[in-house]
Structure 1
Amino acid sequence: MFNNPSSTGKVYLVGAGPGAVDLITVRGAKLLAQADIVFYDALVDPEMLELCPQAEKVAVGKRCGKLSSAQQFINKRLVDAAQKYQIIVRLKGGDPMMFGRADEEIQTLKNRQIEVEVVPGITAALAGAASIQQSLTLRGVSRSVAFITLAQGTNHSHANEDKAPQPIASPSADTLVYYMGRKDAAKIAQQLIQQSDHGGVHKQDTPVHILEAVSTAHERLWSSTLEQLASGKADGWFNSNSPALIMVGEALRHKAELVTTKSESSSTKIDNGLQDSQILANRTRRA
């Protein structure tokens, strides 16, 4: 901590990683152990907060479709905390600089001359690739990767609040990873298939992996093709309470060996009307 207790505190934007508690960085864990106050996201595992027993803990998570903290309110809380505390941690799911509104928090703090530092974390796309043991790039097959979200902020302006969010055009990268794409999964696949008729690289038989709750004990995997995704085959599989990642590309064609649980619930899900071309697995993880 700072030697001068009257000095303005420093804010650390810390990446919590993809979900598993032990995937936070060493630097991030050390900062949690020193923090006076921690503002944490909704996706942060409650067990991770055991790394900061000495700190005041404030939930400021934002989840789509659920009651959540407005970004302006979070910004104000960080500024106020810097006037009172010396070490402030803003604990953000995944990596702070990936779809996390970090730019707004950083700019607000800098405008108030409050020191801020970013501590990176493992983003879900990389954790997902590690989990299925499939590289997002592959020599001779995939030389580019795009991380995409269709989610749009709702608290910037009310001028267009009556208009439905417009989907962005899919980039031309070889491998595509969609964050927060659960509600638009079938539309994403349909759009990619349509683009393949005009020179796009993602055709009907392009492999698709959907991962939920990456790196946690609740991780699940749905594997098939764009054609199956476009027809809505995954719609009933999604768990609305779990974050989902949609991965598309030829680099993902060769599947890793999957370990399925032997629980009755897992067996029920595997037999729940899935096509022969699909793989559904629940992972079990041990510390």
Structure 2
Amino acid sequence: MYRFLLTPRWWGINVFAVLAIPFCIFMGSWQLSRFEARVDTHQQQEVRAADAKAAAARPLDSLLPVDTVTSGRQAGARGHYDTDHQLLVPGRTLEDKQGKRQGFYVLTLLRTDHGKALPVVRGWLPGDPGNKADAAKVPAPPKGEVSVTGALQASENQSSTGVHADGGLPPGQLGMISAASLVNIVPYDVYDAWITLTDTQAPLRAVPPAAAQGTGLDLKAFQNLGYTGEWFVFAGFVVFMWFRLFRREAEAARDAALGIVPADEAPGTPAAAEPDADARAADESAPVPRV
């Protein structure tokens, strides 16, 4: 009754199922491991962020380059603010007791004692930097040599939250905080990092540090979890379809063996060839014997 399993058609079905099921399980397990890794790094980053708030500030150069370990750490630097190149970063959201509000960052470049400039986000203000009344609320940076302390952040890129990478901003505004976007604005070298100050001048509000890229439970992390479910569903679907085809052909073979259906109508059995037109015509024209 199960001889149909030895047909070429079923050899192909069986080979496909044997290869597809382990492949789907492997891909589902791999996607699940990526989601678990993102959860672990998210938890580690939360611990590091809590430790960074309590830890003493370290010199900026000792924390570079910025990675998942040094991101959010308190960094200190000395120098003087370049008041000629103060920039406003539009389209930045800050959450407070009134909910999420749209505003802008106030970024001033600190010319350090080492010659390079450090982008410093001195704080956040609500409103639109293109509005003269909102821009007039920005306090002037301190004069002379200053010491600054803030949370270290990696340079932003096009996938960072809130960036304006399309260009077209008016003079005095910056869409993305990075050394690459500042290279054509200032005539000196810039650190490939920036800090957000812990203590700000009124009416500026401190900008909380963002989690290092690739460590948060963002949409991409939950996409990995969704792909995990999809691959396991695919594996189950292959098993279901194989069993369904097997049961249908086994029942048909059993019915043929019991004579319920003709054997030539059972699945996998070629139908008997019908006589062609010439043969039928010859049969019809043949003389009928007289009795």
TM-score calculated relative to the size of structure 2: 0.20
Give the greater-gyration-radius structure (CA): 2
Q: Which has the higher helix share?
A: 2
TM-score calculated relative to the size of structure 1: 0.20
